[in-house]
Amino acid sequence: MRVTLDAIARSGGRYRGTAIIDESFTEKQFQEMHDGGIRGVRFNFVKHLGGRPDMEFFRKTVDRVQAMGWHLILHLDAADLVEFDPLFRKIRVPMVIDHMGRVKAADGLGQPPFRTLLNLLKNENAWVKICGAERVSSKGPPFADAVPFARALVEAAPERVLWGTDWPHPNVRWMPDDAALVDLFPRMAPEPELQYKILVDNPARLYGF
């Protein structure tokens, strides 16, 4: 995490960061990361990127995260939303579902993984990032078929939605134009007050700015 911590330090307090960890991380390292501006741990469940973590390690990390006042970021395949829904509902720390849960736009708003995600957002600890339109889309650029999914998520939990471009876009079928992704955002949240909430208020609250 040295590069991330260095960037946060150089920002003069303008940046926060998240960590990817393994079982070797000590309490001292956790405290050093916290002092350096880290506020979350990201877990990958996606099969083509190595698959789910060791679940005992996952549970131990949830306890550590809770003690630090951090949050989780969960990178999932859509099917994981259904399989792990009982576990996720028991988690008592904020957890951010990345990339709209990687649902497939072609499967429609009524698909079981997306319905599960919408229901999960009734839990006050559940957050979602309306990024990754290029991953959700089934039609390709400009990825407009992902917009209804983002809009539904914004309507479900406007206080717990984040946004980002996901630059530099690793492992994608279609390499997006970042300006075009920015142009999609007002279609996901047309209202100025919602835009401010998603871009400013929500991340400030979650990351402790």
Residues acting as catalytic residues: 166
Element (H, E) at 72: strand 71-75
| Strand, coil or helix: 191 | coil
| Cβ proximity of 121 and 91 under 8 Å | no
Sheet with 95-97: strands ordered across: 17-19, 38-44, 71-75, 95-97, 126-129, 161-162
Handedness of CA 80, 153, 197, 136 (dihedral sign): positive
CA dihedral 1, 130, 68, 55 (to 10 degrees): -80
Q: Which of 28, 25, 32 is nearest to 9 (CA)?
A: 32
